[in-house]
Structure 1
Amino acid sequence: MFIPSIRGRSVRLITQTLPLHLRTTSHAIFSGPSGRATADLRPRYFTQHSAQFQGLGSPHLSPSSFVQAPEPSLSPLGPATATMETPQTAVTYASMAGRLNPKLLKGLEEMEYKYMTPVQEKVLHLPNFTDDALVQAKTGTGKTIAFLLPVLHTLLATKNLDRSQVSLLVLAPTRELAQQIADECDKLTSQCKPALECHIAVGGSKRASSLAKFLQGSPSILVATPGRLLDYLTDEAAKEKFNNLRCLVLDEADRMLDQGFMPDVIRILKQLPSKSSAGWQGMCFSATVPPEINKVLHLVLYPGHHRISTIDENETPTVDAIPQSVIPVDSIYDVLPTLHSVLACERSDNPSLKAVVFCSTARQAGLMYNIFGYTGGAAPGKLPVYQMHSRMSQAARNKTVEDFKAATQGVLFASDVVGRGMDFPDIGLVIQIGLTTDKDQYVHRVGRTGRAGKSGRATMIMTPEDMPFVRKNPQFPIKTIKWNHPKADMAQSKSIIEKALEKVPQQSKDQAYVAFLGFTKALKKFHGMDAPQVVKFANQYSESLGLDEPPALEPSTVGKMGLKNVPGLTIRRGASGKSAGGRGVGGKGAPQAGPSAGGRPSAGGRKQPLDDSTPTASSSENRRAKPLAGEPRHKRPKRETRGQGSASTAADPFFD
């Protein structure tokens, strides 16, 4: 079995046929640039917890075909638990024959959808498909199909439908959710001739080209995020496309409220044909219905609208059925090695491991992707790694969604753009690094696993500074566990991470530091830290990345963060403080907070956009990445490091 590495080399993994716990050796054969094969026959040691077989990283590569029967799980995280019942008594879509358009039923058949979920059953059994409805249902319960089917049926039944006009408008809080809705719509209408075109309008795409396509096409259906739709509505020709609107759907209305989109939604509604005059149908789907949503509901729904809920107040919340734990670590220096060890152990127990690792900021997610790409994937056996965050272009995010959905194994390093609305199949493990912004976001992160009747688990790796989250949220069944991985393995994980960090671009570390500093400052009240303690904690994070001193910041960035005159920062173009130490992974020393002479020489750089370092970093309307403050325009002088050899030796200390 050949797996291309990030350097384009081929690696063949040869394992003995002994049971896992009896294996003591394994061989790796590399085909180098010259094409000659070289073999390393040194022993590889396996434990009950982890097969310490370390290969090169394989970001974005298809999972290998290597299959190994999983061993019984010995993980301290405990066994996974399924959270949904199988649809033994569910109503079939076939039972809707005669009531639902046969072309839609054929589309469902092609999608291999046989049974209705509870929310789909209740919506499809409303007295009239054109009635207004407020539907309360959890994410991951089939809401998209529930609102698409009745509206699409109505459109297909409409004589002389003007397909050049928008008949169905769906508003969604994130680009990814909007794309998922559009994809489902395309599949449902795949049998419809002539086609019902579904267009998408989201941030991150080129405005001019997407607007031109919208104006020139026949967008019977438009799925949009609020920001981009408002942009469209500034164009008079685009605005006229909504004159024959027949239905408006608000999906995940509570999340739009949480992310501050409701004022935009109200502005959109004021620019569309009014409900009183046009008489369009309104539907609102939301996991919760806080009172603040009523400001919008009365503009979208008629009085006396149907209210549907599939949430049983006495039911154990979905995430409560998922085993949840926290792994406390002594300091921030231990986070990366512990994460590597956890993933390695889980991978050895389950060769088909598919996991999501949530990070506090987009820059941290990108950094983790880089680090674990150099460690040989997240665990033995070349587990593919992926990244998903707001700093990626929309095209890159779409590609990741497509690849990770299709993957049978792998680890996705993500910010909260994945925390809600995104549905990746077969996620068996969710790991959270550091804090989430609030308890609701924690629920949505955990909710990425244990979906559609599959089993799942969730854990967090937390420093002492982060642990108040567990104490302040006793409503979650979070079990504190000790990661009792053998000491030799943890030392090995530290060595692997340390060597990987030497290969990670300096810029990636610098950007992650700035984002971490801003994020920690924004949550300083939660941590109980004052400004100097925030800087000290961030400088320890910098040191854990193998940096000799904290990256330099622009004075304007420091001012925006509210950290002016706080000791311990390295300031560009002026006097600065400098951290002591530079001990790297596993170091014990903490940077000193007091100022000292020195600092990095000015090398230019641009102003720091703060959206990435604040709790709102996951907003779907974030613009594409810009260089951070402290980011040099010219390359830094190359620092001497260990492991500067070929990709194979640098990425994998087991083959040194």
Structure 2
Amino acid sequence: MPPPPPPSGRKNNLGRQNRRPYPPRRPAANAPENGVSPAQQPARPVSVATGALEEPKAMDPRRLYSTSAGESEAKPFKSLGNTLDESLLAGLDKMGFEYMSPVQQKVLTELPSLSSDCLVQAKTGTGKTAAFLLPAIQNLLSAPPTSRLPKGKVGILAICPTRELALQIAKECTRITQSLPQQLECHTAFGGTSRALSLKIFLAGNPTILVATPGRLNDILSEAAVREKFSHLKTVVLDEADRMLDAGFAPAIHTILSHLPSKTQSPGWQGMCFSATLPPKVSDVVKCVLYPGYTRLSTIDPNEAPTIDRVPQYSIVVPSPREQFPALLALVEAEYAAAPAPKEFKAIVFGTTANGVALLYDVFKAALPAFTHFELHSRMSQPARTRTTTAFKNVASGILFASDVVGRGMDFPNTGLVVQLGLPSSEEQYIHRVGRTARAGKDGRAVTILFSNEAFFVKTNRALPIKPYPTPVTSDLEKYQAQIDKAFTLVDDEAKAKAYQAFLGYNKTYLKKLQLDAKGLVQLANGYARAMGCAEIPLIEKKTIGKMGLKGVPGLNIGVAGRRL
């Protein structure tokens, strides 16, 4: 198999269609590793900016954008001279933004006023961030002297589902506001960082704009001093509302809203809700965020087939977890060989657990050394996750081994293949993962590799267009098994032990669906350990076994590292 060339300094493909060429700018300083923080760029406080910018292709000014109202010509931002402050327009010009995307055009030209409440249905990667930042910032700039935002108060609160998305929003905010005569600090708040340091920076700063994830925001709002920062709040944005609610954040969002000034308290804050889909649970939250009579906008063609119906989807079923590794290797080689442009072969492989993903990365880095490999999961530090996200976006060819930190909402341009190794936790999770391919008009494929006990997923989700994989990639697994066995000799025992324990914990949740009892699960996991080349079954602490509900089940190796009990 000819190796794909490594990514050699390929510039960042921002993938937006509303930009014109502009000179590369020096990368801004990286954000400090804390949860509520203003990163610093020369001469002004900013949020987060990482990575070099690219010179995107010039957009044809005659290009037509499809909107729900039909075909309409894309309008230039300069046509908003009577709507947006000239310093905002200057910032957009420096960014290379010349024409509005459909969602930007709808929000900026069809709202009754830029301070109106709105529910906007738009897909990820369509320019939503600027669509909500521009009206919100404009409202701050145009406020009369009697209602100006006091120093030290939060004027704009944007809530989004993940740390990665929070960083993306903050970065764009920094760029949009770069030409403002006055400083606007954009802070971020997300988990996995020092709470004490975060609060110190936030409380001492002037956080005009805060971009936060629900968990950390709910946590810090328990502090009276933090709540006081929101006493003059002007705008609340829920970005990717459907995704936040899918992730179980509804209780946190309701608690957050209870800590904010009352929306009915004069003059009340503006609510903006952005969502790709509008399930009933989004409607429930909308009632708390938007006034009755809010404006509803959509850039989604109601006749357009959803991604799940457009992407060819296949399944491969193998006898046991042991065969999943060589099956994945065989699949990658087959898909690479069949790719129209092998030099641009780009794939995401989803695992079921963070430690399982880390193991896959180690194994396939050894088994397929000619490829460029990436890993992205919750066990990584935030700076490492940010570096990986940026690198995989920019690379021409490579494989990303990922957990569901990228299940939905993040755009990795030109990803042509999504593989799910192991049982998806739900139909929704499956669909969200498939949505990482076939984006921006590109083609894509999705393949799920299951062992026999997991095959029920295909049978019980018959509405999903999943067919058997058309090529017999599993006909010569022994050949690939030899490569896998050799690769496992290069993986350290600690990584194997963590993956083994994670395998037990994840599948314990699905015993009934897997048609296993506790003893059968342990036997299955021990087979997984043997597939990893473990000399003995990895040790698990007694208390961990108890937490898993596996106390007294035969086959487990009880003990701590270096000492069996």
Give the structure-2-normalised TM-score: 0.82
Paired AA for residue 545 in structure 1? M
| SS in structure 2 of the partner of residue 351 of structure 1 | helix
Q: Distance in 2 between matches of 1:210 and 1:361?
A: 28
- What whole-Å deviation, never above 9, does each CA across 1:448-499 have from its counterpart, x for those lacking one? 11112222221112222222111222222222115435967x5443222211
CA distance in 1, matches of 2:186, 2:127: 19
> Is 1:507 aligned to residue 482 of structure 2?
no
- 8 Å contact kept, 2:366–2:487: yes
Q: In the alignment, what sits opposite 2:63?
A: 88
State the 1:97 CA deviation: 4.0
Q: CA deviation at 1:358?
A: 0.5
Alignment-derived partner of residue 100 in structure 1:
84
Contact 1:63–1:383 (Cα < 8 Å) also in 2 = no
Q: Which residue of 2 aligns with 1:286?
A: 275
Q: Partner letter of residue 304 of structure 1?
A: G
Q: Deviations over 1:365-419 (max 9, x none)?
A: 1111111222243xxxx32111111111112112211222222221111000110
Deviations 1:245-300 (A, max 9, x none): 10001122222223222222222222221111151101122233333445533322
Q: Displacement of 1:211 after TM fit?
A: 2.0
**Counterpart in 1 of 2:460?**
472
Quick check: 1:545 aligned with 2:520?
no
**Counterpart for residue 58 of structure 1:** none
Structure 1 stretches of 4+ moved >6 Å = none
Over aligned residue pairs, what C-alpha RMSD do you find? 2.6
> What is residue 123 of structure 1 aligned with on the other side?
107
Three-state SS of the structure 2 residue aligned to 1:372 is helix
- Are residue 393 (structure 1) and residue 381 (structure 2) matched? yes
Q: Partner letter of residue 518 of structure 1?
A: G
Q: 2:358 aligns with which of 353, 363, 366?
A: 366
| Counterpart Cα distance in 2 of 1:437 and 1:485 | 25
Q: Which runs of 5+ in 1 are unaligned?
A: 1-49, 56-61, 67-85, 574-599, 605-656
Q: Residue 355 of structure 1 aligns with which residue?
A: 347
Compute the displacement of 1:213 (Å).
2.0
CA distance in 1, matches of 2:482, 2:359: 18
* Bigger shift: residues 511-520 or 421-430: 421-430
How far off is 1:528 after superposition?
Answer: 2.8
Within the candidate set 168, 176, 180, 2:168 is matched to 180
Secondary structure class of the residue paired with 2:183: coil
| Cα pair distance change 1:88/1:463, threshold 3 Å | farther
Give the secondary-structure state (helix, strand or coil) at the position aligned to 2:371. coil
In 2, the alpha carbon distance for the partners of 1:259 and 1:223 equals 18
Q: Which residue of 2 aligns with 1:416?
A: 404
- Alignment CA distance shift 1:494-1:351 (3 Å): farther
One-letter amino acid of the counterpart of residue 367, structure 2: T
Aligned to 1:528: 515
Alpha-carbon contact 1:370-1:504 (below 8 Å) kept: yes
Measured in 1, the distance between the counterparts of 2:528 and 2:515 equals 18
Question: More helix by proportion, 1 or 2?
Answer: 2
- 2:563 match: secondary structure: coil
Judged with a 3 Å threshold, the aligned counterparts in structure 2 of structure 1 residues 530 and 404 are, in CA distance, closer, same or farther, namely same
Paired residues of 1:520 and 1:538 also in contact (CA < 8 A): no
Of structures 1 and 2, the larger Rg is shown by 1
2:7 aligned with 1:63: yes
Distance 1:163 1:326, change over 3 A: farther
Corresponding letter in the other structure for 1:284 = C
Q: Kindly indicate whether residue 289 of structure 2 is the aligned counterpart of residue 300 of structure 1.
A: yes
8 Å contact 1:54–1:376 — kept in the other structure? no
Partner of 2:305: 316
How far residue 155 of structure 1 moved from its aligned partner, in angstroms, is 2.1
**Counterparts of 2:262 and 2:527, CA distance in 1:** 56
SS in 2 for 1:503: coil
C-alpha contact 1:513 1:541 (8 A) present in aligned 2 = yes
Give the drift of 1:221: 0.7
Contact 2:327 2:473 in 1 (8 A): no
- What are the equivalent positions in structure 2 for 1:400-479 lying under 5 Å apart? 400-479=388-467
What is the distance in 2 between the residues matched to 1:494 and 1:87? 54
User: Would the alpha carbon gap of residues 453 and 203 (structure 1) be closer, same or farther in structure 2, given more than 3 Å must change?
Assistant: same
**Closer, same or farther in 2 for the Cα pair 1:289/1:602, shift >3 Å?**
same
Cα 1:54–1:169 shift into 2, 3 Å: closer
- Name 1:335's counterpart in structure 2: 324
2:364 maps to a residue whose letter is F
Q: Is the 8 A contact 1:327 1:483 kept in 2?
A: no
288-297 or 190-199, which deviates more = 288-297
Shift of 1:117: 3.9
What secondary structure is seen at the aligned counterpart in 1 of 2:439? coil
Query: In 1, distance between residues paired with 2:381 and 2:9?
Result: 30
Task: Report if aligned partners of 1:93, 1:116 keep a CA contact under 8 Å in 2.
Answer: yes
Change (3 A) 1:54 1:183: closer
Conserved in 2, the CA contact under 8 Å of 1:327 and 1:482? no
Aligned partners of 1:333 and 1:540 also within 8 Å:
yes
Q: 1:535 to 1:113 in 2, by over 3 A?
A: farther
Distance 1:193 1:455 in 2: 44
Determine the structure 2 residue equivalent to 1:271: 259
1:568 equivalent to 2:555? Answer yes
Match of 2:143 among 151, 155, 158: 158
Supply the AA of the counterpart residue of 2:126.
T
Shift of 1:100: 3.0
Q: Given that residues 154 and 207 in structure 2 are in contact (C-alpha distance below 8 angstroms), is that contact kept between their aligned partners in structure 1?
A: yes
1:455 counterpart SS class: coil
Look up the match of 1:6: none
Pairs aligned (count): 498
Which residue identity does 2:324 align to in structure 1?
V
For the residue of structure 1 that corresponds to 2:488, the secondary structure is helix
Write the distance in 2 (CA, Å) between the matches of 1:491 and 1:112. Answer: 53
Offset, 1:107: 3.5
What is the TM-score when the length of structure 1 is the normalising length? Answer: 0.71
Secondary structure at 1:187 match in 2: helix
What is the alpha-carbon distance in structure 2 between the residues aligned to residue 284 and residue 87 of structure 1?
Answer: 30
Note the C-alpha offset of 1:344. Answer: 2.9
Q: Which runs of 5+ in 2 are unaligned?
A: 11-60, 66-73
Q: Does 1:132 align with 2:117?
A: yes
CA offset digits 1:570-603 (Å, max 9, x no partner):
2238xxxxxxxxxxxxxxxxxxxxxxxxxx9636
Task: Please name the residue that 1:559 is paired with.
Answer: 546
**Offset at residue 312 of structure 1 (A):** 4.3
Cα distance between partner residues in 2 of 1:305 and 1:475: 35
- Contact 2:152/2:208 (<8 A) preserved: yes
Contact 2:314 2:447 in 1 (8 A): yes
Compared CA separation, residues 319 and 142, structure 1 to 2 (3 A): farther
> 1:11-38: CA deviations, max 9, x gaps?
xxxxxxxxxxxxxxxxxxxxxxxxxxxx
Percentage of identical aligned residues: 48
1:344 corresponds to: 333
What corresponds to 2:503 in structure 1?
Answer: 516
